[in-house]
Amino acid sequence: MSNDVSPGTESAATTAQADTTEACELHDHHEHEGHDHHHDHGHDHSDHGHGRARVRRPIDPIFLAILVVMVLLARGRIPFLANDTVRLWATLFVSISFQALPFLVLGVVISGLIAAYVSPDLVRRLVPKRTIFAVPSAGLAGLALPGCECGSVPIAGRLVATGTPPAAALTFLLAAPAINPVVMISTAVAFPNDRMMVVARFAASLTAAIAVGTWWARRQGENLLDSVSDLHEHHDSKLERFIDVASRDLVHAGGYLVVGALAAATLQLVVPRSILDTVASNEVLSVIVLALLAVLLSICSEADAFVAAGLPQFSLTSRLVFLVVGPVIDIKLVAMHAGVFGRAFAARFAPVTLIVAITAAVIAGQVLL
């Protein structure tokens, strides 16, 4: 397994492609081992004659049926579950998971189509050779995906597995949920008297995405493929491959989405909103607080403009920070990034993205608002 492939270069895509088959077989064990990129990759080869990792602890669907029966028996019999706060938490948790579902399904259908029908050769021809062109064009390609951030994570993972330079895929990952038409329209609706808000949000989000993409392209020796690569063989048809990859990406990204939804619903109830008013008067403090709030609340990028509009005590610049940070980095996304690209990646990517997004938003706010 080569961890020394340099992403963002032309040769990376070719080398990476050759690696994929080997990496993929260990994908599932990788999950159990906590995404350590440098983990021993050779411990399982004897085990699978079919090139697929075996499930360590297979869970039969019968357990699922038992779970359902137990849940139905528990209903209405545990006083804790009737508590007002618990019920509100349940509403928030279920609604975050539920509203993300169509975007997640759209995302994995696209990622399955890419895996089954888009050859690495085609990707290499479509993506500009040089990073200096590839990264900005990947950012602008984000305009074409009307959705929120949950759908773009599996797509970006699949793009990397198909040979797209990781820097370009990450730029797309950051830009798509922030600058797509639905998000721009909802921002315009939420800020009817501050039309420049739309322009500032677009400019700051795209700039931040390109800046992070460029930063990643300049890093040498990073390999995302350990985590994102997947099965390539043993599909009888393209349809089978499409459905297998889409389903696999769905349970993968979906599992981490649920982790994020758990955290976001809990934090929404824990963060006391009353303290917000006291910090709103200080410009620097309000930028920091709204950036943190964007991370903690994990609101869908199609809805965050209305939440920002509901915080009139804060300055326009600090609310712009809220709108630029939220779609690119929040609790829910960190969980998904860690799942799809690995924990080591998430640990580096999250702070850099947060700082770049805040900086871009503050500058755009000073210049445009």
Q: Which of residues 197-256 bind other proteins (CB under 8 A)?
A: 240, 243-244, 246-248, 250-252, 254-256
Nearest to 341 by CA among 37, 105, 111: 37
93 makes contact with other proteins (CB under 8 A): yes
- Tell me whether residue 11 or residue 71 sits nearer to other proteins (CB atom): 71
269 makes contact with other proteins (CB under 8 A): yes
Q: Which two tokens stand for residue 182?
A: 């639905």
The angle that helices 343-368 and 331-341 make with each other, rounded to 10 degrees, is 140
- Tell me whether residue 222 or residue 330 sits nearer to other proteins (CB atom): 330
Distances (CA, A) of 168 to 163, 174, 183, 210: 10, 10, 21, 9
Q: Which two tokens stand for residue 283?
A: 């410009």
Rounded to whole angstroms, the Cα distance separating 19 from 139 reads 27
278 makes contact with other proteins (CB under 8 A): no
Map residues 40-59 to x or -, x wherever contact with other proteins holds by CB under 8 A: --------xxx-xxxx-xxx
CA atoms within 13 A on the CB side of 262: 8
98 makes contact with other proteins (CB under 8 A): yes
96 makes contact with other proteins (CB under 8 A): yes
66 makes contact with other proteins (CB under 8 A): no
Piece of 114-122, 156-164, 265-273, 285-293 that binds other proteins (CB under 8 A): 265-273
Chain residues 156-185 in contact with other proteins, contact rule CB under 8 A: none
- Tell me whether residue 65 or residue 122 sits nearer to other proteins (CB atom): 65
- Given a contact cutoff of 8 angstroms between Cβ atoms, the answer to whether 154 and 192 are in contact is no
275 makes contact with other proteins (CB under 8 A): no
Map residues 101-130 to x or -, x wherever contact with other proteins holds by CB under 8 A: xxxxxx--x---------------------
154 makes contact with other proteins (CB under 8 A): no
Least distance CB 313 / other proteins (angstroms): 8
99 makes contact with other proteins (CB under 8 A): yes
Distances (CA, A) of 286 to 133, 196, 320, 359, 361: 36, 20, 11, 14, 13
Q: Does residue 8 sit in helix, strand or coil?
A: coil
- Site for other proteins (CB under 8 A): how many residues? 87
Q: Which two tokens stand for residue 229?
A: 């690569």
N-term to C-term CA, the chain:
49
- Tell me whether residue 142 or residue 339 sits nearer to other proteins (CB atom): 339
Q: Does residue 64 sit in helix, strand or coil?
A: helix
- Given a contact cutoff of 8 angstroms between Cβ atoms, the answer to whether 320 and 364 are in contact is yes
Chain residues 9-28 in contact with other proteins, contact rule CB under 8 A: 27-28
Q: Which two tokens stand for residue 81?
A: 């579950």
Least distance CB 33 / other proteins (angstroms): 11
Chain residues 286-325 in contact with other proteins, contact rule CB under 8 A: 297, 299-300, 302-304, 306-307, 309-310, 312
Query: Which residue, chain included where needed, has tokens 């900005």?
Result: 136
Question: In this structure, what is the dihedral angle of CA atoms 6, 11, 14, 16, given to the nearest 10 degrees?
Answer: -10
- Tell me whether residue 38 or residue 57 sits nearer to other proteins (CB atom): 57
151 makes contact with other proteins (CB under 8 A): no
Choice from 9, 15, 22, 31 touching other proteins (CB under 8 A): 31
